[in-house]
Amino acid sequence: MKKYILSLMTALTLVSCTEYLDIKPYGKEIPEDVEDFSALLHHLCDDLDNGNTLASPILGVYGDAGSLEAVTDNMEVNLTESPQGDMLRGYIGHFAVSTSYTNLYEAIRTCNIILDEIGDDRDTREGLDLIGTSYAIRGVCYYQLMRLYCAPPLAEDGTLGVPLVTTFDMEAKPVRSTMQETIGLIEHDFKEAIACDIQEPMYRFNSDIIHGYLARLYHWCGRWQEARDEALLVLGKHPLIEGDDYKAMINKQFGLAGNRLIMGNIYGSTLTLTSYYNTLKARPISVRYINLFPASEADIRKTFFFNAKRQSTKTCFAGMRSAEMAFIAMEAAYHLGDPTTALKELNDFRRKRISPYTDLTMTTLPAIRDDEYIKEDCYGNILTPLLYNILVERRKEFFMENADRFYELKRNGRPEWWIMFRGLKYWNQKYMYTWPLPVADIELQPGLIQNPGYDEAL
């Protein structure tokens, strides 16, 4: 016994300690290969699928309708019923405190780690899918950061971009880039993603979707020819649908259908959704929106978007579907100086929603309504009837989708108006369309410039 213990001890002291200590905790891993990184990406995609908080600003979730859309002129904040509607926010300034900035950078971090570390597996099929998806998600994150935290690029000169992080580094403290740099990175990421030709369906992204995002990017920053090319490319592969197919697609709560290309919240709980819709019903739809549908037109959307009580009955959606490409192409044609094509495409679109349908002509285009909040286009020019009608059609189509009206208001002049909310008067002001960077970041990072209007906010 004695000898045994002593020899064992001697043996143990002689064995390399590092080797003895080199054991791995269970369930933990230093990520190194494709399999490890795919676990990170699957987690991110799972968050997208389920609309979890972290990932909700990336693709959006159905709940955006109740937050961002509910404060726009599509809804009547003043008439919100309490207590059911208390969950809904009141005005655009309520978004001054938001975690989107942090959440988007968190997703960017995951993508950066994968892109930094993937190493040798770069050229395998799995590797390409991983890299492609990481680029795609990173691009989408920056696209969202740009839309939320930067002023619209066409309205002002020299607007700032967001800080750009393309590699994982805990020590880095980048300041804001220029708008062109931000756009450049998003474009770069999307093109890299397309080059990878993602095949794995569980990663949710594929080249068509990324072309769609490129179209969105070019549309936002006024690169009309490229916007039109990309949009038509996607539209060619995923044509518009109409009638019952259209209705079925819009009514589907969870999951892809029709020409939906991607969606946040592909899964979700019916229970939560039901209670959410009940909340939403407490905020009536504005008369201004309902009046966009003339009584004379048999528009399919009138039959299931809302009811007689001015409550929304449309299924909320966040993601991308082909119809948006049609509008991008239309508006691009308009800005490229081809109103004929724009009008033709507008009629083509309306024909799919209104039946029987009579084509609009340059002379029969309805005039700009007095109660319209958007008075100018993305350059600050007074709206023409054609562009107005394109925007109106877009507003009708994307009601309760992607918080589209919010971004359209932001892109086209950032109109100001006031609302009454819980007995107090609130002004929706121009600066509020661009959200503030988190105060903590401004304090921690010298040289980081806060968006205008938030200098005193603490």
Partner 1 sequence: MKKALFILLCLILLPLDMMAQTQRVRGTVTDAQGEPLIGVAVRVRGTQNGAQTDLDGHFVIDCKQGDILDITFIGFKPGTAKVGKHEVFVTLEEDVKTMEQVVVNGYTQTDIRKATGSVGILTEKDLKDAPLANVDMLMQGKLAGVNVQAVSGRPGESAKVRIRGTSSITGNNEPLWVVDGVPIQKNIPAMGNTYIRSGDFSTLYANGVAGIPPQNIESITVLKDAAAAAIYGSQAQAGVIVITTKKGQAGKLHLSYSGSVTVQTSPSRDPNLMNTEEKLAYEQSIWDEFSADGFANGTYYPRIGIIGQIRSGYGQFAGMTTAQQDAYIEQLKQTNTDWFQELLRNTVSTSHYVSASGGSDKLTYYVSGGLSTNKGIVKKSSSDGYNFNAKISTRPSDAVTMNFSVDYSYMKSLAAATNLNFISYSYFANPYEKPYNDDGSYAADNTFYALAPMNNQSSMPLPSNGFNVFREIDNTEQVGISTSMTIRGDITWRINDKFKLYGLAAYTNSNDDSDTEIGQDTYEAWNDRPFENINLLSKRIYGSLTQTSNVNRSWLLRAQANYSQTFKDIHHVSAVFGTEVRSNYAKTIYRKAYGYDPVTGNYSTPLLLPSRADGLYTEEEMQSYKGIVDNLSGQSRTEDRFASFYGAIDYVLMNRYIANVTARSDGSNNFGSKEQFNYTWSVGLAWNIDEERFMKRIKHIISRATVRLSTGLTGGVNKSVYPVLIMDYLKTYRNSDTQAYRMGTINNAPNPHLRWEHTRDWNGNIDLGFFKNRLNMNLSFYRREGYDLVTSERVVSTTGYATQSYNTSEQLNQGVELMLSGTPIKTKDWTWSISGNISYNQNVLTHYESPSGSLFGDIYVGYPLGKIFTGKSTGINPETGIYNYELRPDADIQDLADQRDYKNYLFYIGTSSYPWTGGLSTNVSWKNWSLSISTSFSLGAKIKNHIKSPASYSNASGSTTNYLPNSLDIYDVYAAHLNTNKDAAHRWTPDNPITDGYPRLIDAHGTPLNLEVDQPTYSSVLEGLYYENGSYWKIGSLTLSYSLPERLCRRMSLSSVGVSFTANNLWMITSYKGMNPESPGAVYPMSRSFSLGINLGF
Site string for partner 1, 126-165 (x = CB under 8 A): -------------------------------------x-x
Q: How far is the CB of 448 from partner 1 (least distance, A)?
A: 8
Distances in Å between the Cα of 55 and the Cα atoms of 5, 59, 316 are: 57, 7, 17
Count of C-beta atoms within a 10 Å radius of residue 372: 17
Spatial CA neighbour of 176 closest among 458, 450, 456, 453:
450
- 445 counts as binding partner 1 under rule CB under 8 A: yes
8 Å CB contact between 23 and 226: no
Q: How far is the CB of 272 from partner 1 (least distance, A)?
A: 9
How many residues bind partner 1 (CB under 8 A)? The answer is 72
Q: What distance, in Å, lies between the first and last C-alpha atoms of the chain?
A: 71
Kindly tell me which residue out of 8, 97, 287, 449 binds partner 1, with binding defined by CB under 8 A.
8
Helix (H) or strand (E) holding 14: helix 2-14
- 298 counts as binding partner 1 under rule CB under 8 A: no
Q: What is the DSSP string of 190-228?
A: HHHHHHHT---GGG---HHHHHHHHHHHHHHHT-HHHHH
DSSP state of 99: S
Contact range with partner 1 by CB under 8 A, out of 172-180, 310-318, 330-338, 355-363: 172-180
CA distance 392 to 410: 15
Distances in Å between the Cα of 250 and the Cα atoms of 58, 271, 315, 318, 401 are: 21, 19, 6, 11, 10
Region of 87 on the Ramachandran plot (φ > 0 left; ψ -120 to 50 alpha; else beta): alpha
Contact range with partner 1 by CB under 8 A, out of 107-115, 152-160, 206-214, 365-373: 107-115
- Closer of 348 and 443 to partner 1 (Cβ): 443
CA distance 107 to 137: 8
- Closer of 290 and 439 to partner 1 (Cβ): 439
Q: In the range 415-444, which residues lie near partner 1 by CB under 8 A?
A: 438-441, 443-444
Q: In the range 262-281, which residues lie near partner 1 by CB under 8 A?
A: 267-271, 274
Q: In the range 43-62, which residues lie near partner 1 by CB under 8 A?
A: 43, 45-46, 49
Q: In the range 193-232, which residues lie near partner 1 by CB under 8 A?
A: 201-202
- 108 counts as binding partner 1 under rule CB under 8 A: yes
Q: How far is the CB of 268 from partner 1 (least distance, A)?
A: 7
- 248 counts as binding partner 1 under rule CB under 8 A: no
- 31 counts as binding partner 1 under rule CB under 8 A: yes
Kindly tell me which residue out of 30, 295, 367, 424 binds partner 1, with binding defined by CB under 8 A.
30
Q: How far is the CB of 41 from partner 1 (least distance, A)?
A: 9
Contact range with partner 1 by CB under 8 A, out of 37-45, 212-220, 306-314, 328-336: 37-45
- 121 counts as binding partner 1 under rule CB under 8 A: no
Q: Which residue has the tokens 């938030």?
A: 454
CA distance 352 to 259: 14
- 172 counts as binding partner 1 under rule CB under 8 A: yes
Q: How far is the CB of 177 from partner 1 (least distance, A)?
A: 11
8 Å CB contact between 312 and 203: no
